[in-house]
Chain A
Amino acid sequence: MKNLTIKLLGVNKYTPIVTVENQKLKFKKNKLGNLETSFSTEKDSVEIITFKPLELYGKCWFLMSMLFFVISVLGILDACYDRKSIAIYTRHVIFLQEGDNNLDIVRKPVIANDKAIAMRTDRIVNEYYNMYAIDNKIKKRKRILTGVKLGVWAIGIISLLVYLFLN
């Protein structure tokens, strides 16, 4: 049996989702305040995927955004979406040895086209994908939302002006 202990470091604000062999891991805080979990397997190597879903990934993204737009008084009191549409997606394969295996996943500062995480371990790791990347799908959805919001504002201002002009 091979035990893999994974620690998440540098994820104070955003906690990415980590999957090992397509199983989502649940992290718990250890004594030092870092997120930690363990995983047991018989395999020699396991695939580790780290990703952070964005809010506009959801199926009802448009309806929810419009709901928030209305609640937040036409977006005045709403929080801005991430401007750069940068998503985290990493894929690694770690080769395990019998007994305990330690892996620290350290998140790096957000810089486009830079590495998203660093893997600290004494085991061999194959890196397949590890970057902060721009998500074009989210970018497109944000453009649609911006257009709709601007349209609502334009209609509101025009109707207000018409009302003032008629009175």
Chain B
Amino acid sequence: MENLQDPNLQAEAQQDQNVVQQTPTIQQSADQELIASPVVQANVQEPPVVQTNVQESPISPIVPPNMQESTTVQPVTLQNVQEAPTQQIIMSANSGVQSANASNNGIIVKPIAPKPKLILPEEASKCQATKKEMAMMYSGRLGVIFSNISIIASLVSICSLLAGLLYGVIFLVAVLFALILTFATLGLILLADNSIWSTVTSIGQDSEIINAIFSIWPVIAPIAIASAAISILFLAMDKTKKHTVRIALAGTALGGTAIIFILALVGIVGGSLQ
């Protein structure tokens, strides 16, 4: 409504009003586009108000005293909230609608001005969360962090344990490669180099990287298990938000890592006993 103080805008608004009064109807669709239709109410002087199935109250509304002092509140809309079959839109001059085009049936009128960004009213600052609610939210965040740690740690520990299998895999690939080469050159390679088999079998066993990866699982696996357990605990404590997926992920990480960890420990103990 501030824009109406400008004489140009006032003139434009008056013109818009004239045009809209001639128009049979204006309905607003969900995507804020206006389409001409048979029922209409337009008032340029009023602020934007949406009335839905308006019913007159038999008793005058009782407004509590703390609500009367509010300044940022939108104009009061008396409404019965049950869905109405049609909606009546009262347009304002600053809503940025090209009303002239609305007179043509079937033409979609697009808003020119962007939607104003709504800012929380000052009265909203009175609504404070209690310490318990804040603690719940903080525990939820801690749970998310620990679940991330557990997922990554469990992946690393599983990969670390699986690195032991890489010896065999690399050996098989190398053998396959050697076989292909052997058959492709019809044994010429064997004739040229008699020590090829000893070279092939040594690949993988000398890899320092695989050894390093394999050596870290006893450290990472307990971290994964502990962080998964902590994350489940914290996520379960947060009642302001649901963390079903994260709890499931952390549980999976916990279970998977624990099983592999126990199997690896049994293998080590069994190997040392033998």
Contacts and interface: CB of A to CB of B under 8 A. Distances in A.
Interface of A: 12-15, 17, 19, 24, 44-45, 47, 49, 51, 53, 55, 57-58, 64, 68, 71-72, 77-79, 87, 89, 91, 93, 95, 112-113, 118-122, 124-129, 131-137
5 contacts: A14-B241, A15-B240, A47-B64, A68-B141, A134-B118
Contact of B118 (A120, A121, A124, A133): A133
B149 A53 contact: no
A134 B117 contact: yes
A57 B133 CA distance: 11
A53 B141 contact: no
Interface residues of B, number: 48
A137 B129 CA distance: 15
Contacts of A119: 81
Interface in B220-247: 239-242
A64 B135 CA distance: 11
Contacts, number: 135
B142 interface: yes
B81 A79 contact: no
Interface of B: 55, 57, 59, 61-64, 67, 70, 72-74, 76-82, 115-121, 123-125, 127-130, 133-134, 137-138, 141-142, 144-145, 148-149, 152, 239-242
Contact of A45 (B55, B62, B118, B133): B62
Contacts of A45: 61-62, 64
Given A119-B81, A125-B80, A128-B73, A15 B127 contact: no
B70 A128 contact: yes
Nearest to B58: A124
